[in-house]
Amino acid sequence: MKVIIHGITGKMGQTLYRAAQATPDIAVAAGVDKRIPEKDIGVPVYPGVGDVPFAADAVIDFSVREALPGLLESVTAKKLPLVVATTGLTDQDRHMIFQASEKIPVLQSANFSIGINLMYALARRAASALGDDWDIEIIEKHHNQKKDAPSGTAYALADAINAAFNGQKEYVFGRYSQDELRKPNEIGIHAIRGGTIAGEHTALFAGTDEVLTITHTAHSKTLFASGALTAARFLCDKEPGLYHMQDILGL
């Protein structure tokens, strides 16, 4: 299977490249990046997917959200399956991804960890069982180089929990400068940035005299790359449509 890495010179792009090199059934056909490296990195690098002069089986995107419109235009023109692993997406970005998925298979996820995607299902089930009598808070921790906050995974976790309440919960971020009691319909979301933390997410359910926490900890970025490669394999024989990691897990 031949893949194109969109954003290959970035930290996650390089992590993905190394993970693909260690995977016998996957070969990196080319890289795409606006920054063409001066030195040979082992594969040809082009400024856009449309500039790649040979065929591939899928494109994996670990870049920046600003590059998304051009990427979607290129992959739909070439009929290439797309894995979107870039974070910090807006509602408009997600709408563009949905439009592209009507023409090609697209798998988009805020987090490509198998464990975190299972956590979504566990947290939703816990919320459904515990109900409105328990307060819910989400805490996410990442390295000091991560720009977007809260993380896309924290939003996805909040959405998974909120689905148990038919979307009636209100998201409250940080609570800085607030001088009022916590409302029953809140989900608090808090972001911590420091050091080299690869990623930690906790869903905290606080009841009367007891607390339940569900926590996922990532110890390296390699697991996200491995998940993205699994997603690319999954997409290869799929019809156009919008897919998620939960589809791979049967959730």
In the chain, the domains with their CATH numbers are 2-108+221-249 (3.40.50.720), 115-218 (3.30.360.10)
pTM for this predicted structure = 0.83
Work out the pLDDT band at 148, boundaries 50, 70, 90. Answer: confident
146 an active-site residue? Answer: yes
Lowest mean pLDDT among 86-90, 125-129, 183-187: 86-90
pLDDT at 120 over 90: yes
**34, 78, 103, 146: which one is catalytic?**
146
pLDDT at 234 over 90: yes
Using DSSP's 3-state secondary structure scheme, residue 8 falls into coil
The residue-averaged pLDDT of 2-6 equals 98
Work out the pLDDT band at 178, boundaries 50, 70, 90. Answer: confident
pLDDT at 15 over 90: yes
**What is the biggest distance separating any 2 CA atoms in the chain, rounded to whole angstroms?**
63
User: What's the confidence (pLDDT) of residue 87?
Assistant: 84
User: What's the confidence (pLDDT) of residue 41?
Assistant: 92
pLDDT at 168 over 90: yes
The residue-averaged pLDDT of 10-30 equals 95
Work out the pLDDT band at 110, boundaries 50, 70, 90. Answer: confident
Work out the pLDDT band at 164, boundaries 50, 70, 90. Answer: very high
The pairing of strands 199-207 and 135-142 is antiparallel
Work out the pLDDT band at 250, boundaries 50, 70, 90. Answer: confident
**142, 169, 201, 216: which one is catalytic?**
142
User: What's the confidence (pLDDT) of residue 88?
Assistant: 82
Q: By C-alpha distance, which of 183, 185, 147, 159 is closest to 65?
A: 147
Rounded Cα distance between 37 and 9, Å, is 8
142 an active-site residue? Answer: yes
Q: What's the Rg (C-alpha) of the chain?
A: 19
pLDDT at 38 over 90: no
Half-sphere exposure of 223 (CA within 13 A, CB side): 14
Rounded Cα distance between 169 and 122, Å, is 18
Mean per-residue pLDDT over the chain, rounded: 95
pLDDT at 251 over 90: no
Q: By C-alpha distance, which of 242, 244, 5, 231 is closest to 105?
A: 242
pLDDT at 187 over 90: yes
Cα angle for residues 73, 114, 173 (degrees, 5° grid): 75
pLDDT at 147 over 90: no
Burial 60-93 (b: 16+ CB within 10 A, else e): bbbbebebbebbbebbbeeebbbbbbbbebeeeb
Q: By C-alpha distance, which of 102, 107, 109 is closest to 240?
A: 102
Rounded Cα distance between 3 and 229, Å, is 9
Which tens digits make up the pLDDT trace of 45-101? 999 999 999 999 999 999 999 999 999 999 999 999 999 999 888 999 999 999 999
- Over pLDDT 90: what percentage of the chain? 89
Q: DSSP characters for 112-167? A: --HHHHHHHHHHHHHHHHHGGGSEEEEEEEE-TT--SSS-HHHHHHHHHHHHTTTT
First to last CA, the chain: 26
